[in-house]
Chains A and B, each alone.
Chain A
Amino acid sequence: MLSKRIIPCLDVKDGRVVKGVNFVDLRDAGDPVEVAQRYDEEGADELTFLDITASHEQRKIILDVVRRTAETVFMPLTVGGGVHEVQDIRDLLNAGADKVSINTAAVSRPEFVKEAAERFGSQCIVVAIDAKRKVSSFEFRVSSSENPVPSPQPPGPLSWEVFIHGGRTPTGLDAIEWARRMESYGAGEILLTSMDRDGTKAGYDIELTRAIADAVTIPVIASGGVGTLQHIYEGLTAGGADAALAASIFHYREYTVRECKEFLAKRGVPVRI
């Protein structure tokens, strides 16, 4: 049986893990390679590096991080952040990444996803979608008026809008339609982040996760909002996600990857222990 995947995410800036990492016995808690090795020992199923390096000149640093990680950690490695051109993908794959995650560049030029999938294969093209709930016309009317007038229409189905530039820029794209389109363009996987939940520790947006998981036939990774192991359980069951990505609960040692998997296994979720 195919296991549900647990994927720790490391935010890397200028070659260093940011967000204080409290691994007790690491010589250098900021070294992505050492952190990756620790997650490897704990039984993580994959690793994701999100390169949040601001300046273009520093981008080459991530290649060295990937290279050094791939020399010691033998599991799938995804790198996202700053992937805009075919050359970026080739460089990352050559350095030892197995997948790249494309976000803003997919919206700016959707054909880029198609070209990348044709060139390197769908298996290594992850499309990252940052989605935010749209306020329905019903809710808008009620909440924005001093004297709310009952809407003549019942509230429509839930919908979400795609955001880019790290969640700062709205695109007007509907997240469900966008996910379907990216699948048809050859994306091999969707990394779905709820902008409403990211950083809140209130749990994944289950309705969003379920809506996207039902809309596409490629795997969906849930992201954004994990605060407890129960949240991960919900994302993989009620949310229908194939994999769960989390950063801070693993970073700050609130739970180890192994504890997470034991929690899931006890509740009947297929995981690799």
Chain B
Amino acid sequence: MNRALPFAVAAHLRHLFPVASFPAPRNNARMIAIIDYGMGNLRSVQKGFEKMGYAAEVTRDAKRIEAAPGVVLPGVGAFAACMNGLAECGLTDTVYRVVANGTPLLGICVGMQILFTESVEFGRVRGLDILKGQVVRFDPTQLDGGKIPHMGWNQLHLKRRLPHFDGIAEGSAVYFVHSYYPVPDDPAIIATTTDYGQMEFASSVQWRNIFATQFHPEKSQSIGLRILSNFGRLVQGEALAYQSLAPNP
């Protein structure tokens, strides 16, 4: 069979053999931008990418962020503080533009949460409203004695076959530290779930060019580094990767 491979299959092969079988990706030299808006430990994210062979920089320069082939939106602490931090750095619109441009975006922890419509942390706080849904607090009566924050290593249940989880086995453990979790209006965007007490919450979501994790890949040893590396591969394959992001039928 000598016809061209279907686009999605080609994308998948390219994903598996990014260098050997296909032309070098575009924008190879450009760096993944990690948005620095004063919230959290950004160094580990940068070092994680570097360890896996992807150049990354920590920056609050809107131009560099918008020009980057891939963008990371980190975040720790309070939801409102993260929203304010973005606004004070003048980067709120930058995030909207990155999403609109189709640039692969990785949200981490509160960086995932603020992508949603709103949080109930200390009253109601408006989020970026790019993903529809609410961020709510764990209900202690549902945790079978589990503590809040949900802190430590817990397992991923893979709900969709996404390139972001290439090489990641069902049940792999990753590191969490959070008291709130997102409830997407559209459950179809849920990429993985995690069980805590009687709760099953969305531990990562994917929608169009957005991939966001409640856990910390940069603190999750080899599993986390693989997830960062998968994101790096998607960034390098830009247009092709975007195709393969469609949910599996």
Contact = CB atoms under 8 A, between A and B. Distances in A.
Interface stretch (A70-78, A102-110, A136-144, A165-173): A70-78
B195 A123 contact: no
Interface residues of B, number: 36
Given A74-B48, A75-B221, A3 B76 contact: no
Given A98-B41, A217-B148, A76 B175 contact: yes
B44 A1 contact: no
Interface string B211-223: 0000010111100
A235 B79 CA distance: 34
B153 A45 contact: yes
Given A74-B224, A123-B76, A124-B76, A2 B152 contact: yes
Main DSSP-derived SS at the B contact region: mixed
Interface residues of A, number: 35
Contact of B152 (A67, A120, A124, A243): A243
Pick the 10 closest A-B CB pairs, nearest first.
A121-B77, A272-B153, A3-B153, A272-B173, A123-B177, A219-B147, A2-B154, A96-B43, A5-B152, A71-B47
B149 interface: yes
Interface string B34-57: 000000110110011001000000
A96 B41 CA distance: 6
Contact of A45 (B148, B152, B178, B216): B152
A97 interface: yes
Interface in B138-187: 140, 146-155, 173, 175, 177-179
Nearest to B220: A74
B85 to A, nearest CB: 12
Contacts of A67: 43
A98 B175 CA distance: 12
